[in-house]
């Protein structure tokens, strides 16, 4: 079974647009789980433009499935993760001013740095995942970091879904096979949607979890949050 973790950054963005607490982030996270999602993902950034650090702390008392915190492992982020103790931390090489995640780690260049950071989380007994591009070389060097999982950056697949989905998805399939051989589990995320998720899932020999936010929340404006969550779960596990 492939698990669905819902990224609720967009809920926080909507709340922050007017101030106050509408929509109530904690209530939405609770409802998402009751609708069948397997986890909640957040990506607090240093400027707190959507998810605030206090949100991460408060969500710990609400999330009874799995909490996944994404981010660049700067000191403030590491401190937050160790305090909250989510089930999973996903390390992403975001620049401070980046609008959204736009690349995976250069694991060949950064594996020693990542290994040191991951050791900190391993001591805290927090499952680790690193965000990588769909390149087998990235997977090979990811092994050297001692991470538990990789998260495949799926923008390339989404961009090529209409023009060359078969060719593009093979890059991801090959990476999932290699990761499994090495002993790492496979997550995926970024620009996955109701339109493209089923083909992706069916062509991935190993896929443990997907994290979806922007598309899922956008689709929910038309079809409703509970309905959309269950559509994803069905498409992921056909």
How far is it, in rounded angstroms, from Cα 55 to Cα 63?
12
How far is it, in rounded angstroms, from Cα 105 to Cα 117?
13
How far is it, in rounded angstroms, from Cα 124 to Cα 117?
11
**What's the CA dihedral at 211, 94, 204, 140 to 10 degrees?**
-140
Name the maximum alpha-carbon separation found in the chain: 48
Catalytic residue among 50, 66, 70, 219: 70
Catalytic residue among 66, 155, 190, 219: 190
70 in active site: yes
How far is it, in rounded angstroms, from Cα 216 to Cα 190?
11
43 in active site: yes
143 in active site: no
Count CB atoms within 10 A of the CB of residue 36: 14
Q: Which helix (H) or strand (E) holds 67?
A: strand 67-71
Name the residues annotated as catalytic.
Answer: 43, 70, 190
């Amino acid at each position: 079974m492939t698990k669905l973790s819902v990224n609720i950054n967009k809920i926080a963005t909507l709340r922050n647009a007017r101030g106050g607490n509408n929509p109530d982030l904690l209530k939405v996270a609770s409802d998402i789980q009751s609708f069948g999602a397997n986890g909640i993902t957040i990506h607090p950034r240093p400027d707190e433009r959507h998810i605030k650090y206090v949100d991460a702390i408060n969500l710990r008392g609400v999330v009874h499935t799995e909490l996944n915190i994404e981010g660049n492992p700067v000191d403030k982020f590491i401190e937050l993760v160790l305090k909250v103790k989510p089930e999973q931390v996903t390390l992403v090489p975001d620049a401070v001013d980046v609008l959204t995640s736009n690349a995976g780690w250069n694991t060949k260049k950064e594996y020693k740095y990542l290994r040191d950071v991951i050791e900190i989380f391993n001591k805290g007994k927090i499952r680790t995942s690193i965000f990588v591009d769909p390149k087998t070389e990235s997977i090979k060097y990811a092994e050297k970091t001692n991470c538990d999982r990789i998260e495949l950056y799926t923008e390339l697949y989404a961009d090529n879904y209409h023009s060359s989905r078969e060719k593009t998805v093979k890059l991801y399939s090959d990476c999932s096979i290699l990761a499994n051989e090495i002993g790492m589990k496979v997550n995926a995320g970024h620009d996955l949607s109701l339109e493209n998720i089923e083909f992706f899932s069916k062509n991935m020999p190993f896929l443990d979890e997907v994290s979806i936010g922007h598309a899922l929340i956008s689709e929910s404006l038309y079809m409703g949050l509970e309905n959309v969550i269950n559509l994803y779960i069905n498409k992921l596990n056909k």
